[in-house]
């Protein structure tokens, strides 16, 4: 009985993983995440590996009230901001994200975080084109230069079934661009054939979604 109870406990503690949409997984290369801590904060190294990329310099003290060229944050809303770098060889992209959270849906009476209750904007610079992402009410737009791609939630879980909150997001233009898992530890799928600049830009923006954490009520 003790062995059975231990097995059930381990199963209940196992994290759910995103199941990538079949039309994306069949044409994509997977960028796995490794060396990522579950912890977050000023004294935690939140860097990790994303396929060939190194995510580093994660700074959650970046002032989210500073102006980005995308997004505006209301003074009365719960906000958060962070920055990071994504590098591969001689290429380094600098990412910044900011968010606005509807307080009542998350912070009142011990409510839980919902992707549908937050507005997130990210930008990545250092590549050939400026890359931006805007997410509101659970869906949004990813833009690379003058091209825009629709961003939609994915609820499917590996092994079958779905969860209420998104397990990840997918980006689509005329064809699927890729997908990102936002439940720990995270993972990225990128369509084969993307050029180096596009791969870096999308990976950087997806990293912003993986790193996002709702602000605390401090």
Report the helix count and the strand count for the chain, using DSSP H and E. 4, 12
Structure-model confidence comparison of residues 183 and 39, the more confident one: 183
H or E stretch at 91: strand 91-101
Place 166 in a pLDDT band, splitting at 50, 70 and 90: very high
Mean per-residue pLDDT, 189-195:
97
Mean per-residue pLDDT, 140-149:
95
| Residue carrying the six token digits 């879980």 | 157
CA distances from 22 to 50, 101, 198, 203 (A): 21, 32, 22, 20
Beta-strand pair 176-181/187-191: antiparallel
For residue 157, give the 3-state DSSP assignment. strand
By percentage, how much of the chain surpasses pLDDT 90?
63
pLDDT tens column, 82-105: 999 999 999 999 999 988 887 555
Q: With 0-12 CB in 10 A as exposed, 13-18 as middle and 19+ as buried, what is 104?
A: exposed
Residues in the chain: 218
The domain limits of the chain are 25-211
């Amino acid at each position: 009985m003790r062995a059975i109870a231990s097995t059930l406990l381990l199963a209940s503690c196992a994290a759910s993983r995103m199941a990538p949409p079949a039309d994306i997984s069949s044409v994509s290369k997977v960028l796995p995440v490794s060396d990522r801590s579950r912890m977050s904060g000023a004294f935690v190294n939140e860097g990790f590996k994303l396929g060939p990329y190194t995510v580093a310099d994660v700074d959650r003290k970046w002032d989210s009230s500073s102006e980005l060229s995308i997004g505006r944050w209301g003074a009365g809303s719960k906000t958060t901001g962070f920055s990071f770098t994504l590098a591969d060889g001689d290429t380094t992209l600098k990412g910044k994200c900011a968010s606005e959270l509807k307080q009542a849906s998350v912070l009142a009476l011990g409510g839980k975080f919902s992707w549908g209750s937050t507005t997130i904007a990210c930008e990545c610079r250092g590549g050939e084109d400026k890359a931006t992402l805007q997410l509101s009410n659970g869906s949004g737009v990813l833009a690379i230069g003058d091209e825009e791609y629709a961003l939609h939630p994915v609820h499917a879980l590996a092994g079958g079934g779905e969860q209420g909150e998104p397990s990840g997001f997918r980006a689509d233009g005329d064809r699927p661009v890729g997908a990102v898992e936002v439940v720990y530890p995270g993972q990225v799928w990128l369509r084969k054939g993307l050029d180096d600049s596009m791969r870096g830009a999308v990976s950087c923006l997806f990293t912003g979604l993986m790193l996002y954490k709702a602000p605390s009520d401090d």
